Structure 1
Amino acid sequence: MKNIVLTIASFYGMMAVILGAFGAHAFKKNLSVEKITSFEVGVRYQMYHAIVLLAIGLYFQFNSGLERSAAWCLIAGTFIFSVSIYFLSFAEYWNVNLKFLGPITPLGGLFMIVGWGLLMYIFMKSKFN
Structure 2
Amino acid sequence: MTTLLLLGSIAMLLAVAIGAFGAHALRHRLKPDMMKVYETGVQYQLAHGLGLLVLGSAADRLADSSLVLTAGWLLFAGIVLFSGSLYVLSLSGIRKLGAITPIGGLAFLAGWIVFMAAVLQ
Q: TM-score, normalised by structure 1?
A: 0.84
Shift of 1:47: 0.4
Paired residue for 2:81? Answer: 80
Whichever residue aligns with residue 42 of structure 1, its letter is: G
Pairwise CA distance, 1:4: 1.8
Within 5 Å, give how 1:52-91 maps onto structure 2.
Answer: 52-61=51-60, 63-91=64-92
For 1:36 and 1:100, the matched residues in 2 are separated by 17
* Counterparts of 1:109 and 1:72, CA distance in 2: 13
> What secondary structure, in the 3-state scheme, does the structure 2 residue paired with 1:29 have?
coil
1:46 aligns with 2:45: yes
Confirm or deny that 1:119 pairs with 2:120: no
Shift of 1:29: 1.9
Identify which range, 10-19 or 63-72, moves more after superposition.
63-72
Q: Deviations over 1:78-121 (max 9, x none)?
A: 111001000000113xxxxx333221110000000000111222
TM-superposed deviation, 1:59: 1.5
Q: Per-residue displacement from partner, 1:50-75 (whole Å, max 9, x unpaired)?
A: 11111111220385432221111111
Q: Which residue pairs with 1:95 in the alignment? A: none
User: Unaligned regions of 5+ residues in structure 1, if any?
Assistant: 93-97
Which aligned runs of 4 or more in structure 1 are off by greater than 2 angstroms? 61-65
| Aligned twin of 1:105 | 101
- Structure 2: which 5+ residue stretches go unaligned? none
Rg bigger for which structure? 1
- Matched residues in 2 for 1:65 and 1:99: separation? 37
Read off the aligned partner of 1:71 and give its amino acid letter: G
Identity, in percent, stands at 38
Q: Distance between the aligned counterparts of 1:88 and 1:59, measured in 2?
A: 34
Aligned-residue RMSD, C-alpha: 1.6
Superposed CA offset, 1:6-35 (max 9, x none):
111111101111111121221012101101
